[in-house]
Structure 1
Amino acid sequence: MVKNKKIALVLMIVLVLSSLPFNAFAKSYVVQEGDVLWKIAKKYDIDYKKLAEYNQLKNPHLIYEGQKLEIPEKNSTSSTSDDQITILGTADLHGRIYAYEYAIDSVDKDAGLAKIQTILKRERDKDPDALVMDVGDTIQDNSAELFNDLPVHPMVQAMNEMAFDVWALGNHEFNFEKSLIDRNIAAFNGTVLSANIYKEGTDERYVDGWKVFDVNGVRVAVIGMIPPNVPVWEASAPSHFQGLAFTDVAEETAKAIKELEGQYDVLVGAYHLGPDGQYGYDGIEAIAEKFPQFDVIFGGHAHMKYQNEVNGVKLIEPGKYGWALAKATIDIQKTADGYEVTGVNTENLETYEEKEDQGIMDTFAFVHNQSVDDANTVVGTIEEDFVKNVDYITNEASVTTMPTTQVEDTALIDLINEVQMFYTDSAISSAAAFKSDMNLVKGEFKKKDVANIYKYPNTLVGVNITGANLKAYMEWSASYYNTYTPGDVTISFDPEIRGYNYDMFAGVTYDIDISKPAGSRITNLKLVGEDIVDDATYKLAINNYRFGTLTSNGWVTDEDKYYDSYDLMQDAGRIRDLIIKYIKEEKNGVALPVVDNNWKLIGADLSHPLKEDIYNMIKEGTITIPTSEDGRTRNVKAVNVYDLMEEGKFEGYTPLTILHTNDMHGFFIEGKYDGMGAAKLATFVRQMREANPNTLYIDAGDALQGHNLVTLSKGEEGIKVLNALGIDAMAAGNHEFDYGSDQMVKLAEMLDFPMLAANVVKEDNALILDDSMILNVGNLKVGIFGLATPETTYKSHPDNTAGLTFLDIYETSDKMVKKLQDQGADIIIAAAHIGEEGEYTTDKLAEKVTGIDVIVDGHSHSTYDFGRMVNETLIVTAGEKTRNVGVVELLIKDGKVVKKQARMFKKEQAAALEDDKEMTEIIAGIKKANDTITEEVVAESPIELVGEKELVRTGNTNLGNLLAEALLDISKADVALTNGGGIRSSINAGPVTKGEVLTVLPYGNTVRVIELTGADIITAIEHGIDSYPEAKGAFPHIAGMTVEFDASKDAGNRVTTLMIGGKPVDKTKTYTLVTNDFLVAGGDGYLMFKGKKVVAEFGAMDEVLIDFMNKHGFDKALEDDRIKDISEAVSVLELQVAA
């Protein structure tokens, strides 16, 4: 063995080598720009494949400028001599004799035993004693099942014709009745091996575990091994492995080696296993690590061309279908005790350029002809292509990037699931895309088309499964996707999971959130609109292979199986046959593509200004979709724009990401009806900065007033949140002035970043806040200036802006642009609390002032999902209350912005994020500090203030009236209206604490005044009373008007009298109405308020109520007839309105 060489011999070799002249070693060549491997090989008169093999190039078509290649001497590979043993092997032939794939009725240039025979003859000319093995998965696939009834399967017959010495069984040999494999084991002329299959209940192996071959006096031992998961994979058809037991690979290896002790000179593995283990059993790399006694292990199962050395053991796998013939050349040396291995060389002899052996082709022409005829049997008509763009990026019919069938719902998977649900009478079904480029194309529907979309001979199983286990199964499947990272422009797959283990479900609707970690991705899971219930039982259709998965994971048992197509129909019950049967019998031979789009991927925002460019580069081949190391799995890593920039793919471009929020109003706690909260917001900001260090965060104002979390401390506690968020700059919103201008300045001084307002000056014309700033971001100079809405003077209490002047925003902005340009700014951003209504708007700003690249806007609480371009300026705004975070992507080249793109990260997406721990602690600290404030007594009530739910939703109460009067008092509006659903509790007579008021008004709503017509007011009242006397959260509590209504009338026609200021309402007149911001947004069904002009804004409702209590006492806390039902008093009344 190589491991037993003497140290002295090694030293002697080193001395000899050191004495050789330099040119005795192989030449080297440094790759130049424009070089390709075949030209380099031609220059040195050697085969390019040999050159690639010699340099261990995984892909001979990928070499790089500056790469050093070693050039082998022409005589470096000599013909086999007497002191060498040659072992040759195939694996995963899967029914291929001709170089042909019958599923698509097309030539497959690197496949089949006919090509293998050409190489095999050549190798046998060199070494007639070469040992030839097949390492399993031989008699299944490629229409091989057509010949299952023959006495000898053509694949076995072909191996006999080619004088194979060993056939190591693979798991797919057990896809059929056991009688098939039994018959062909007996028919094979060589030795069938598998050391870990036993006759059940005995110590007797099913076939030989190992065999020692005498090769010119050298004892070559070969051990065979199979994945022990066959009973799991074939769980729905126990007859396929009846009477057999499968044991652990490592344990059986140890046993076989012990049995062989003293009987071999060379030890070879014929293991139908890939490099890595699965499902708890070892792969060949682990076997080599544990058992260095091996000289070489031939692998299979993984369908990869692979060579490696682990622990001194050479490993080789020749891929699938006959891609290559694996070769191991073993150098041996005669010793006193026998023979010793002195070296092992491996190589895969590829078949792509080989010709097929005519003898094999002639002998098995019947197989080819019958398979082609069968594949072309017409079974129906395909009306339209089932998948329009098979490759998601290139739109080609073959997949080189992302397969459409695995990133969105398609008619193809829906058809398979439809068939499965029909025959099992199940509510739910699952199916996988066995081939990434599978499709049904318009035209005749032939059998080969079915084999193309359903590669394996699976049968159909129906099981009962609990809701909890269904969810676990779906999560298992969804782990196929890699987790999304900001900057990704493609969706990618876990290289450790095969595509056939990703199932898509029908019958249910669901989303897969790939921003979440595996195991927590399935969301919005429903069956016919209802949530899946954990302990309920559902009927599920699956294939027999997946039944094995589900049983092994404990999600179903044998007793849960209620349907088995194989039991009912035998071979006619294979899913491929059922698809044909369904189209013929249920669809009158017509296959029509129908897709229900019952599932989708979420949590992955693939948009970016460079996305289109990247996709074009992928199409051109400039950017390559990453492939797994074994070459078997494509698309194993997402293409990420920031990675590409680091790699220099976009030389000269500088990316700038701008995160933005506005009108957060202190809503920093995640809530059902509020936003994502500051803890998740902080996590998102951190992730975005990690993805692109060139990231800014700008807030457009109104952050520190609204929710009692911040208002209790007049904004000061909220400063802690803003600082922890890592904001770079913010605008001063009108509500930042609600605590008075002095407090606003104090708050600005407490910030770790500037609060900006270029258009607000004091009486001496000095700025109250900084007007602008320059930030160095990477190699960019970013200029930011702030604007506050001039509406602040009348939308906040006049005292709050006393002594301040709000300058024209257009003139101010023009000056700011020039100032920042003079300071060398590459990018100019306006942080503007301006909005889209009234005299001053950001649209007008972009029209009037040039040079602003981006306006981050606030004030209107609008959401521009993708921003708005006005002239050359991008305007963005992100709603309110942390419901969204805006994301702007800029690309700068040569000092100019060349691309702009905006998107929105929404609360629903943020649900996948973990809460930031630091922010969680900060908010907990604020709550604790606020506890002291809430205990403060703010008033003394002589009476109980009634706010019980059943009362405030069916009529007016003294508390509701008091609140409406407080709104009217502060706003000086014509009328007031607030909803009973916003009043959450009563207040006892006696001392009134701040906490009690917050319990009554817990939502942090603010006060707003809108303009509307008398007709609108009537409509609002009709809406609030349409359910009366049933309770309704929209029931109106009013001031400044009185209402009489007749509840006996139809809803919508109940108001009989509505008086404002003692006069009948004028339907055409414009009035001002004060209410809360929730109703202004259309909340509680008050849609007639939505979009109305807001003419004034005030602080939080709890503060307004407390101020009113202190100023006016409780005289207006009355229960009166301001709104009453008169249905029992009169029979008919006409609505009184002004003439």
Structure 2
Amino acid sequence: MKKRKIFLLTGTAALLMALAGCSSTDKKQDAAVAEVPMNYEVIIAHMNDTHGRVKEGKYDGMGFARVSTVVKDLKANEENVLFLDAGDTFHGTTFATLSKGESIVRLLNAMDLDALSPGNHDFNYGKERLKELEEMAEFDIVSANVIDEDGDYFFNPYVIKEMEGVRVGIFGLATPETAYKTNPKNVEGLTFGTPAEYAEKAVAKLKEEGAQLIVAVCHLGIDESTLRENQSIGVVEAVDGIDILVDGHSHTALKNGMVVNDTMIVQTGEYDKNFGVVRVRVSDGKMEVAAKLITKAEAMGRVEKSEVVVEEAQRISAVDKYSIKPGDTLTKIAANYDVPMSVILEANAGIGDPNRIYVNDEIMIPVEREVVNVVKESSTRVIPGIPEDPEIVKLIGEIEQEQMKITEVEVGTTPVALDGEREQVRRGETNLGNLITDSMLWETGADIAITNGGGIRASIEKGTIKVGDIISVLPFGNYVITKRVSGQDIIDAIEHGISDYPATKGAFPHVGGIRVTFDESKPAGSRVVEIETNSGEKIDPAREYVLATNDFMAAGGDDYLMFKDRPQVGNFEGLDEILRKYVEEEGVTQTRIDGRMKVVN
């Protein structure tokens, strides 16, 4: 029988459970364990897929400094607290990539992370670099299904944490999609085993070593595009004995978790927009689990303004003008207005005889009226959020200062200015856009490259090119994905990108591997005259091509929906990293535009 219960937490943690109901589940205990009643509580704080977003931002989450405050408050007020990360953590922003992940490790050390399971993008610097990061880490990196060339575990498959009254076993799982959702060169020699098979081994081993609570921290996800057997749902359907599964990869926000086969699966979404807390309570061998997300909105706090309308009634003196009608007498008028005759006579000194009034004369009648005044009363209520941990704020600032030295490193030179001005890249071909797309083809070997003009944010002046210049051009941390698409998809994409021409549009396409001719006088959706490859062949709508694009567009960003559901072929480094490497090794090969986006009318 499933039970529903809300637990009370102290300090910042009280915010976690008070905001909404929590899911809970009873856990069946092994007969051998049930003979000895257990009583303990464990709190699991968790995050996933932060992708280097360490600072609060308009499109990012609450920032690591607020996450740290939650974790420290929990650890200060509760006996058994674990802080876990389900991967895709070391890569994704300039802050992360400039030091190849070291900056993130330093922050996680300061935040007292307990364990992390690597995601596919954590391999983006190569497997050797990930092992170097493991050496720097004061937390455990665990993965039970990453196997090296010798058949050994590449990471520790699991750890056991001795806590007050309970031994907690933690094992990790990496998505088998890592084999192609990072550059395959990064994982040469590694095998990513079937998750359920290795999970079963890990659970058995942890039970053998006396683990009473078993937690899987996995970068698997629940996306339907992933094979069921490689999803976290598939794992817990196939493997008994996992109490909690902390998940990542699919960027899914599970508000109160999801129970499958008596296992609570939790995931926070992406970019620290949410932070998760799970409370496990075991009483006399019976387990109850409650999961909750703290949202960015809750973490940031808010000001609520309210307005109350109050009506105030009061009586005031007034004077009515009255025009005498046939048959009127002052006696009748006084009776109708309920005003004493003497008051009317006093207000109308010209009337000598109250019985002599004339039709159409105007007299003044003093009256009292009730007037309702409407008063608006405003009030402001401040609902506090989660304060930033000053230690983490300081450390982020120090790292940013250190990174300024890196941004001054020279990567090459350009004989001409490279045009990345907003008005240019959002409405036409530029030499910088061509350089970027050519670097994408060079790195991936794709047939065609397309990137959106809105992602190009600065120009590069003639002369020396520094790391900081590359970052300024491509500041978003987007990485490159290759997908298998049809020729019709390419045609549709170009039509979409040029639909507002000559107006500026962030979706305007910069291309490599093809040349486009379009007629701006035609209606949107039918402007393409011709698209041909660099070899002179016309794009065949029915043929398949390998497209290199950025992850934003690959997911349907800027309304490039024709790419969203197409199969992924490969996954590569950050776009800024690829451009930097291209300039270092090939130089600036595009000094002027070459007619890739030709306009006719």
Matched, 1:868 2:254: no
2:168 paired with 1:757 = no
Larger radius of gyration: 1
Does structure 1 residue 900 correspond to structure 2 residue 314?
Answer: no
Q: Does 1:1080 align with 2:554?
A: yes
Alpha-carbon deviation of 1:484? 8.4
Q: Is the 8 A contact 1:683 1:915 kept in 2?
A: yes
TM-score, length basis structure 1: 0.41
Alignment match, 1:1114: 588
1:952 and 2:425 are equivalent in the alignment: yes
Q: Matched residues in 1 for 2:95 and 2:501: separation?
A: 35
Residue deviations 1:1005-1031 (CA, integer Å, cap 9, x gap)? 222223344333333222222211011
- How big is each residue's C-alpha offset from its partner over 1:236-288, in whole Å with a ceiling of 9 and x where there is no partner? xxxxxxxxxxxxxxxxxxxxxxxxxxxxxxxxxxxxxxxxxxxxxxxxxxxxx
Which of 206, 231, 237 is 1:847 aligned to?
Answer: 237
Change (3 A) 1:888 1:1070: farther
Displacement after TM superposition at 1:967 (Å): 1.5
Say if 1:865 and 1:1009 are closer, same or farther in 2 by CA, change over 3 A: farther
Report the secondary structure of 1:486's partner residue: helix
Does residue 1:1000 correspond to 2:473, yes or no?
yes
Which residue of the partner structure matches residue 367 of structure 2?
none
Encode CA deviations 1:265-319: one digit per residue, 9 max, x unaligned.
Answer: xxxxxxxxxxxxxxxxxxxxxxxxxxxxxxxxxxxxxxxxxxxxxxxxxxxxxxx
> Residues 1051 and 867 from structure 1, CA distance in 2 versus in 1: closer, same or farther, beyond 3 angstroms?
farther
Provide the rounded CA distance (Å) in 2 between the counterparts of 1:1118 and 1:892. Answer: 69
The amino acid that maps onto 2:497 is: G
Question: Which amino acid in structure 2 is aligned with residue 863 of structure 1?
Answer: A
1:743 to 129, 134, 149: 129
Percent identity over the alignment is 43
| Structure 2 counterpart of 1:1058 | 531
Q: 1:665 aligns with which of 39, 47, 51?
A: 51
Aligned to 1:985: 458
Question: Structure 1 residues 713, 1055: CA separation in 2 closer, same or farther (over 3 Å shift)?
Answer: same
Check if 1:1099 corresponds to 2:573: yes
Deviation at 1:800, TM superposition (A): 2.1
| Contact 1:706 1:1099 (8 Å CA) reproduced | no
Measure how far apart 1:1118 and its partner are.
4.2
Query: Counterpart in 1 of 2:115?
Result: 729
- Equivalenced residue count is 493
Contact 2:16-2:292 at 8 Å conserved across structures: no
- CA displacement, residues 500-524 of structure 1 (integer Å, 9 cap, x when unaligned): xxxxxxxxxxxxxxxxxxxxxxxxx
**Cross-structure match for 1:355:** none
CA deviation vs aligned residue, 1:51-76 (integer Å, no higher than 9, x gap): xxxxxxxxxxxxxxxxxxxxxxxxxx
Q: Is residue 16–residue 293 contact of structure 2 (8 Å, CA) maintained in 1?
A: no
- Name the CA distance, whole Å, in 2 between partners of 1:989 and 1:717: 31
**Kindly tell me: are residues 947 and 489 of structure 1, through their superposed partners in 2, closer, same or farther at Cα, counting changes over 3 Å?**
closer
Deviation per CA, 1:6-41, whole angstroms, max 9, x where unpaired? Answer: xxxxxxxxxxxxxxxxxxxxxxxxxxxxxxxxxxxx
Unaligned 5+ segments in structure 2 are 1-9, 26-36, 302-385
Give the counterpart letter for 2:13 in structure 1: P
Q: In the superposition, relative to structure 1, how do residues 1060 and 657 fare at CA in structure 2: closer, same or farther (>3 Å)?
A: farther
User: CA 1:848 to 1:1049, structure 2 compared with 1: closer, same or farther past 3 Å?
Assistant: same
Is the 1:609–1:891 Cα contact (8 Å) retained in structure 2? no
Q: 2:484 aligns with which of 1011, 1016, 1026?
A: 1011
1:1024 corresponds in structure 2 to 497
State the AA in 1 paired with 2:81: T
Q: Which runs of 5+ in 1 are unaligned?
A: 1-482, 491-603, 612-650, 1129-1139
User: 1:1090–1:902: structure 2 CA closer, same or farther, 3 Å change rule?
Assistant: farther
Does the residue aligned with 1:1031 lie in a helix, a strand or coil? coil
Rounded Cα–Cα distance in structure 2 between residues aligned with 1:1073 and 1:790: 22
**Counterparts in 2 of 1:1053 and 1:995: CA distance versus 1, 3 Å:** same
Contact 1:489–1:607 under 8 Å retained in 2: no
TM superposition shift of 1:659: 2.0
Cα-to-partner distance string for 1:816-871 (whole Å, 9 max, x where unaligned): 01001111222212111223343422222222222222222222333333333332
2:13 partner SS:
coil
Shift of 1:965: 1.4
Q: Report what 1:486 is aligned to.
A: 13
**8 Å contact kept, 2:413–2:588:** no
Look up the match of 2:403.
Answer: 930
Aligned counterparts, 1:419-818, within 5 A: 485-487=12-14, 605-609=19-23, 654-690=40-76, 692-818=78-204
Alignment partners' CA distance in 1, 2:16 and 2:420:
53
| Amino acid across the alignment from 1:1105 | L
Post-superposition shift, 1:1069?
A: 4.3
- One of 273, 279, 284 as aligned partner of 1:889: 279
Per the alignment, residue 506 of structure 2 pairs with 1033
1:880 aligns with 2:270: yes
8 Å contact 2:264–2:289 — kept in the other structure?
yes
Equivalence for 2:388: 915
- SS for the counterpart of 2:482 is strand
Given that residues 947 and 984 in structure 1 are in contact (C-alpha distance below 8 angstroms), is that contact kept between their aligned partners in structure 2? yes
Alpha-carbon distance in structure 1 between the residues aligned to 2:467 and 2:493 = 31
Q: What is the rounded CA distance, in whole Å, between the counterparts of 1:971 and 1:778 in structure 2?
A: 51
The alpha-carbon deviation at position 801 of structure 1 amounts to 1.9
| Superposed displacement of residue 806, structure 1 | 2.6
In structure 2, C-alpha distance between the alignment counterparts of 1:699 and 1:962, rounded to whole Å: 37
Amino acid at match of 2:594: D
- Taking the aligned partners of 1:969 and 1:779, their CA distance within structure 2 comes to 57
Measure how far apart 1:919 and its partner are: 0.2
Q: What's the offset of the Cα at 1:1117?
A: 5.1
> Which has the higher relative contact order, 1 or 2, with Cα contacts under 8 A spaced 6 or more apart?
2
Distance, in Å, in 1 between the alignment partners of 2:12 and 2:140 is 30
Q: Distance in 1 between matches of 2:591 and 2:167?
A: 59
Residues 1015 and 827 (structure 1), Cα distance of their counterparts in 2 relative to 1, 3 Å cut: farther
Residues 1027, 1006 of structure 1: alpha-carbon distance in 2 compared, 3 angstrom cutoff: same
What amino acid is aligned across from residue 22 of structure 2 in structure 1?
A: H
Aligned CA RMSD, in angstroms, stands at: 2.6
Distance 2:185 2:81 in 1: 38
> In structure 2, do the counterparts of structure 1 residues 902 and 701 end up closer, same or farther at CA, with 3 Å as the change threshold?
same
Q: Deviations over 1:510-569 (max 9, x none)?
A: xxxxxxxxxxxxxxxxxxxxxxxxxxxxxxxxxxxxxxxxxxxxxxxxxxxxxxxxxxxx
Q: What displacement does 1:981 show?
A: 1.0
> SS at 2:153's partner residue?
coil
1:1099–1:987 Cα change, 3 Å: same
1:487 and 1:606 in contact (8 A); partners too: no
Is 1:489–1:608's contact at 8 Å kept on the other side of the alignment?
no
Q: Is the 8 A contact 1:609 1:890 kept in 2?
A: no
- Does 1:838 pair with 2:226? yes
Render the CA deviation track for 1:940-988: whole Å, top value 9, x for unaligned.
2222211111100010111111111111222222321111111111111
Distance 1:1010 1:855, change over 3 A: farther
Aligned position for 2:206: 820
Once the two structures are TM-superposed, the CA of residue 1060 in structure 1 deviates from its matched residue by: 4.7
Question: Distance between the aligned counterparts of 1:1031 and 1:716, measured in 2?
Answer: 39
2:538 and 2:412 map into 1 onto residues whose CA distance is 36
2:446 paired residue among 959, 973, 978? 973
User: What are the within-5 Å matches in structure 2 for residues 179-258 of structure 1?
Assistant: none
Contact 2:414 2:463 in 1 (8 A): yes
